[in-house]
Each structure stands twice: as structure tokens, then as C-alpha cells.
Amino acid sequence: MVSYKKIALTALLGLGLFATTVSADAAKGQRIYQKKLKEVCGMTGAVFAAKHSQDEWAEANDNGELGKAMTEICPAGKEFFESDKFKNKFSSHLYDFVNDFASDSGNIPKC
């Protein structure tokens, strides 16, 4: 009986950890932009995100062309936007960042 409780508790803890790592985060996207793209692109995150409206960013993300849309704004970051690391690890966080600070969002990031 005790082992069933341990297994159930372990499964719940594992699911809780998995759920937190899968969700995207705009603040994390902002940190990624500051660390990896700000110097490469030569513009602040506020300018970068405000190049499109929330609908335009959402459309690019839904069509799987987020990297292409970002490359059009920042051609120097083409290699980063085409990398597997961007597609698998950074794109969801950067999408949340640009969507939260798009031209029509009314929000201004501190980067």
C-alpha cells in the first residue's frame, strides 16, 4: 500500500515538473533576446518586437514561419533563427516575448 502511494506521488511530481518546463515564458524570451540577439541585431527588444502586430506574429508562428519573420527583421541573425536550437528550444519563448511586446500590445520591454 505504501509503495502505491510512493509511485502515485512520484508520478504527480514528475508531471508537475514536466508541465513547468514545457510552457513558454515571455520573460525567458526577453532574456534570450538580450543574451543572444540584441548585439547581433543591433536593436533593442522593444524595437524588434514592435516590428509586427500581435496578429502578424501569431500568423507567422501558426504558419511555422517565425524564424523567417524574425530573419526579415534581423538578417544578421539568420544562422540563429535557422538553427535546431532555435526551433526546438528558443522559438516558443521568443514568440511569447514578441507577442507580448508587439506594436499593438501597449507593452514596452526593459531591454
Q: Is residue 7 part of a domain?
A: no
Q: Is residue 66 part of a domain?
A: yes
> Tell me, what DSSP letter sits at residue 83?
S
pLDDT tens track for 33-66: 999 999 999 999 999 999 999 999 999 999 999 9
Q: Alpha-carbon dihedral of residues 68, 70, 76, 80, nearest 10 degrees?
A: -80
More confident residue, 12 or 94: 94
Q: Is residue 110 part of a domain?
A: no
Reported as type and span, the H/E element at residue 37 is none
Q: Is residue 43 part of a domain?
A: yes
Q: Is residue 77 part of a domain?
A: yes
Nearest CA to 94 out of 31, 23, 21, 52 is that of: 31
- Distance CA(83)–CA(108), nearest Å, equals 28
Locate 54 and state its grid cell.
Answer: 500581435
- Distance CA(70)–CA(21), nearest Å, equals 24
How many separate domains does the chain show? 1
Q: Is residue 18 part of a domain?
A: no
Q: Is residue 9 part of a domain?
A: no
Residue 2's pLDDT is 67
Q: Is residue 4 part of a domain?
A: no
DSSP strands (E only) in the chain: none
Domain limits for position 87: 26-101
More confident residue, 23 or 50: 50
pLDDT tens track for 95-111: 999 999 999 988 887 76
Q: Is the pLDDT of residue 69 over 70?
A: yes
State the angle between helix axes of 66-73 and 54-62 in degrees (0 to 180), rounded to the nearest 10.
130
Using an 8 Å Cβ cutoff, are 23 and 31 in contact? Answer: no
